[in-house]
Structure 1
Amino acid sequence: MTHYTLEEKESFTVLGIGIELKSDYTDYAGINKEKVDFWQEVKQDGRLDTLKSIATNDYIFAVNEAVNNKMMHYAGVMTEQSLPEASRVIQFPKGEYLIVQGEGKTADELSNTLTGIAFGQVLPEAKDFAYVGGPNATVEMGQRNGLVFGEMWIPVVRK
């Protein structure tokens, strides 16, 4: 089993700029392409830098959330401020979170790796806890030794 931890977190808010993912939820290649294209766009047009300029820390959140039966994906930061170009204030609940740590050559690779481990290995094998919905996020925390490192945060409940 992959290394993971369960951690109690206070509720927190992420301000995000997002898109609706149009691919079928089982089309991982399509979803990943949409996410990669979106991240390239928000980096190139300066929206990510604008978000980072009002962040309370250096973390960059890649948030997945179902909203009104739509799969949404956001680039976000922790902040108390607001921006006109931001599309959503995402509330993460107080409670237990599944935390999976990892690293990758790029932020995209980090996100894909952590998502695969969390949803492909840890959650299917978990006996004591389950993901029952709500926003989840890959959190890019920094760089070391030429690699991007971070964590996946998924709210869970005890079974």
Structure 2
Amino acid sequence: MADYTLEEKDSFTVVGIGTELTDYAGMDKKKADFWQAISRNGTLDTLKAIATNDYIFAVNEAVNNKMMHYAGVMTDASVSAPEEARIIQFPKGKYLVVKGEEKTVSELNSKLEGIAFGQVLPEAKNFAYVGGPNAMVEMGQRDGFIFGEMWVPVVKK
């Protein structure tokens, strides 16, 4: 089984700007295009300006029967978010945490999602993902690689 940890996390808030994911076949390209667009048009910089730390969140969440993907930052509840932003609440509790590093954010996101949802969760005997937002957290760079973690809320089976 892949290397992972289970960690207790306090509840936290992410403010994100999103895009709907409509087909799984083109999902990686749609995510990459979305991130490129918000980096170019200044939206990501606007989000970074209200962040409480340097982490960048790539959040996946089902909202009103739509699969949504958000670029977001951790904030405190009192911050004034951009009008088109969504306030995403992550619950207090246990999280599956998968760590990794890759040359690009897109590769890191794909790798960590693949490990969490393709390896760890299907093989887990003591815990399960029951829905809710999950996130790939870009935490920084070192030696030419981007490092981060996948955070998936889980419950005991």
- TM class by smaller structure: over 0.9
- Structure 1, gaps ≥5 residues long: none
Matching residue of 1:155: 153
1:107 is displaced (CA, Å) by: 0.7
Matching residue of 1:114: 112
Q: Which amino acid aligns with 1:60?
A: I
Alignment partner of 2:40 out of 44, 47, 53: 44
Deviations 1:66-121 (A, max 9, x none): 00100000000011212334420000001000000000101111100000000010
Name whichever of 64-73 and 75-84 sits farther off: 75-84
Distance, in Å, in 2 between the alignment partners of 1:45 and 1:154 is 29
| Percent of aligned positions that are identical | 73
2:53 aligned with 1:60: no
Alignment partner of 1:71 out of 64, 67, 70: 67
Structure 2 SS opposite 1:150: strand
Given the two structures, how large is their TM-score scaled by the length of structure 2?
Answer: 0.96
Structure 2 SS opposite 1:58: coil
Given the two structures, how large is their TM-score scaled by the length of structure 1?
Answer: 0.95
Question: Within 5 A, what are the aligned runs for 1:9-158?
Answer: 9-23=9-23, 27=24, 29-80=25-76, 81-158=79-156
Aligned residues: 155
Q: Which amino acid aligns with 2:134?
A: N
Structure 1 SS opposite 2:26: helix
Matching residue of 2:2: 2
Deviations 1:32-62 (A, max 9, x none): 1110110000000010011111110000000
- Structure 2, gaps ≥5 residues long: none
Structure 1 SS opposite 2:38: helix
**Structure 1: which 4+ aligned runs deviate by more than 4 Å?**
none
